[in-house]
Amino acid sequence: MTKLSLFIFLGLFSRVPGANILIFSGYGEGSHFFVAANIGKELINRGHNVTSLISIAYKERSGEERYKDINFEIFSHKVSPNAVLARHDRRTKKAFEGSHVLDIVFNVSHFVNEQIDDCESILNDHDLVRRLDDHDFDLALIDPYWICALVVAERFARIHVSVMPTSWWNMLSRLHGNPVNPAHHPELSTGFNPNMSLLERLKSMLCSSFTWIMQWSADQLTPLMRQHDILPGMKGSDIFSRSQLFIANVDYSLEFPLAIYPHIITAGGLTTQPAQDLTKDLEEYVQSSGDAGIIVFSLGTYVTYMKEELIAVFANAFAKLPQKVIWQFRGTPPAILDKIPNIKTMEWLPQNDLLGHNKTRAFMYQGGNNGLYEALYHAVPVVVIPLIGDQPDVAARVMTRGMGLSLDIMTITTEKIVDTLNAVIHEKHYKETVKRMSAIFHDRPMRPVEKAAFWIEHVIKHGGEYMRSPIHDLTWYQYYLLDVVAFLLLVLVVVIVFIVYSCKFAFRCCKRVLVGKKAKTD
Residues 74-103 have pLDDT tens digits of 999 999 998 888 887 777 777 777 666 667
For residues 147-158, average pLDDT: 96
pLDDT at 8: 44
How many Cα atoms are found within 13 Å in the side-chain-facing hemisphere of 266?
A: 18
Reported as a pLDDT band with limits 50, 70 and 90, residue 358 is: very high
303 compared with 140, residue with greater pLDDT: 140
CA distance 406 to 367: 9
**DSSP H or E segment with residue 438:** helix 428-442
pLDDT at 11: 47
Q: How far is CA 32 from the centre of its chain?
A: 8
Report pLDDT digits (tens) over 278-293: 999 999 999 999 999 9
What letter does residue 78 receive in the DSSP assignment? S
pLDDT at 517: 63
Query: 47: how many CB neighbours lie within 10 A of its CB?
Result: 12
Strand 264-266 to 246-248 pairing: parallel
Cα–Cα nearest to 241, from 478, 40, 474, 482:
474
300 compared with 416, residue with greater pLDDT: 416
pLDDT, mean over the chain: 91
pLDDT at 248: 96
Give Cβ neighbours of residue 395 (< 8 Å, ≥ 6 apart): 191, 367, 384, 386, 406
